[in-house]
Amino acid sequence: MAPLPNAELVRNSLQLYRYLLRCCKQLPEENIRQHYRHAIRQSFKVHADEDDPERIQQIIKRAIEDADWVMNK
């Protein structure tokens, strides 16, 4: 399963959140979709207070890489 196009356009946390939820919609089974939606929400809660722009970009890059891995799994 290919990742969604335009991942390179993700620049902030809201765009990342939307991108990851759209990726979840492509997953084959409902229980898998629920699991990853929950994981996405939890990760955003954990990193909500992050204010270092460099760290935020690292988190975005890693989240997109992880989403690509899950989509290809």
pLDDT values of the chain reduced to their tens digit, one per residue, 73 residues: 445 667 778 888 999 999 999 999 999 999 999 999 999 999 999 998 999 999 999 999 999 999 989 888 7
Question: What was the pLDDT predicted at 37?
Answer: 95
> How many angstroms separate the CA atoms of 11 and 61, rounded?
10
> How many angstroms separate the CA atoms of 23 and 6, rounded?
12
The model's pTM is 0.83
Question: What was the pLDDT predicted at 31?
Answer: 95
Question: What are the start-end ranges of the H helices in the chain?
Answer: 13-25, 30-46, 53-72
* Interior angle at CA 10, CA 41 and CA 6, nearest 5: 115
Question: What was the pLDDT predicted at 73?
Answer: 78
Question: What was the pLDDT predicted at 8?
Answer: 76
Nearest C-alpha neighbor of 67 from the set 14, 12, 17, 9: 17
